[in-house]
Structure formats: C-alpha cells, structure tokens
Amino acid sequence: MILDGKALSKKILEKIKVEVSKLSNKPHLAVILVGDDPASQVYVRNKKKTAEEIGILSTVIELPYETSEDVVINKIKELNANKEITAILVQMPLPKHINKDNVICAIDPNKDVDCFTPENVGKLAIGMEPRFNPVTPQGVLMLLDYYKVPIEGKHAVIIGRSNIVGKPMAQMLLQRNATVTICHSKTENLEEKIKAADIVISAAGKKIVRCKMVKYKATFVDVGISRDTNGKLTGDLNWIPDFNNFNEVSEYFEFVSPVPGGVGPMTIASLMLNTLASSQDMGILSIRRDSFF
C-alpha cells in the first residue's frame, strides 16, 4: 500500500484550518531566511503559502547573505520578545560564516516549532514532553499511524543520524516501544541490517537503497530528497534495478512512501500543527495527532 502523504496532509490541514478559525488570537509564524539559496527560497515560499491558506499569520524576514551572526541573533531576540509572534523558524542551511548552533540556542523554546533548541531536544531525549515534536519525525509517525502500520515491538532501521530526522526519529520510535537501529555512512554490513528490519526509514539524501535490500513485505518510509541527472525529484529508494515501475514496488512492500508525495507534505502539515499549538498554552502532545486524521 502507498503511504500517501499528499492526501493525508490535505486532511490534516483542513482540520487545522477549522481549529485556527475558532481562535481569537491567531498563531503567527515568523521565518528568517538568510541568503539567496534557491531551494531555501522555495521551501520558505511553500511554508508561507500553506500557512496563509489555513488562516495562520506568516511573516518572512529576508536577510542578505553577508548578514552577521549577531544581527541574526538580535532579530531572533526581537521575535522572542514580540508577543504577537507565536512561532519562530530559521531556515537552514545558514551561510558558512554563521554558527547555526548559536542561532538555534537563541530561539525561545516556547516558540521553537522545529524542535531544534537544546531544551526541547533534551526533553525528547530523556522521555519528557517537549514543547513541540520535531516536524519530519512527527510527520512520519502520523503517516504510519493513519495507515495503521504496527510499531510496538517491531524492528525499525533508520538510515541517517542527523539532528533533524535520524536522531529524533529514533527517540520517538523508542517511545512507541520499537526496537531501533541507526545506520550511517560508517555502518558496516548495511544491507544485512536493513534486511532485518520490519520498518526502514531512510533519510540519507542519496539513492542508496535497492528494493531487494529490504525484506519482502516490510515497510519503507523514504525521507530522502535529491534530484536525478534529469533534474527529477527522487528519494533514497533506487527501485529501477529490481522493478519496472512503482506499482511493482508497492506490491513488494507492505507499505511504501513515494517521493514526491510522501513525507514531504507531511512535514509541512506537521509544522502547521506545531504552529497551531504555539498559539495555545500547551505542548503539541496535548493536541492529539490522531484527532487530525
């Protein structure tokens, strides 16, 4: 079965729109974009467009590439102090002359809708409730839950150890009583480890997984995003050596997410869910994820 993130995200956004319409004080997302990276500009534009479509206020602060770290941090402090701004997001990557860790640490954890600050990440790591959940892992879990993919007791293999996907994904799966293995560029016998998994979540950003590296009727969630030689958007799953088309791929797996149309839309929906929560005196876990299906 196809894990259709595009269809599910549409349902979630429609319900968020209803919830936002009930609020007298609308959630307000502020996005800081430093530089002119084309991909970042597209991501920010999509976030702003989605927010506006569901009634969330949105402000984009564009700063030139040469902006100093101090200027960025001072802008974040202004947003922290602004009571009308409920959510803050700094678009990554930042220019090389800016220390991203210093920038992230400047964000108020109560407005940290990406769940990047040490306070929110630390709470997640020790099993406490963070103010918000990391957006992509939360989107993956909502996708798995909607399609009723079993998690408890299952062996999940995560490919990639980034702070954005791999590490928080592992923590959230552990909280759901999965047995978790994290693989990365230095992992030995990668295929052997993938073959043992009931659920594979790949966030390598490279086309490194062939279908038949994964056991038959496992679940494959493709978080990777890259472009092939023709400029076409693609994920980590390299299915062409094993199958002729994606219909054959979907028959091999129990569940599989496409790229595009899988995790990407769920990440945006998850961000909007966090932004909704930012307008209320509660953490995201107080808003039941399954109530938005």
What are the residue numbers of the active site? 47, 91, 114
- In eight-state DSSP terms, residue 242 is T
CA 208 to centroid of chain Cα atoms = 20
Report the C-alpha gap between 233 and 124 in whole angstroms.
Answer: 32
Q: Give me the count of residues in the chain.
A: 293
- In eight-state DSSP terms, residue 112 is B
CA 27 to centroid of chain Cα atoms = 20
Q: How many CA atoms lie within 13 A of 84 on its CB side?
A: 4
Q: What is the 3-state secondary structure (H, E, C) of 169-216?
A: HHHHHHHCCCEEEEECCCCCCHHHHHHCCCEEEECCCCCCEEHHHCCC
Give the residue among 134, 161, 40 at the shortest CA–CA distance from 90: 40
CB-based contact 95:65 (threshold 8 Å): yes
Radius of gyration from C-alpha coordinates of the chain: 19
Report the C-alpha gap between 18 and 31 in whole angstroms.
Answer: 23
Structure tokens at 28: 């307000």
Give the residue among 152, 44, 158 at the shortest CA–CA distance from 93: 44
Peptide linkage before 109 cis (omega within 30 of 0) = no
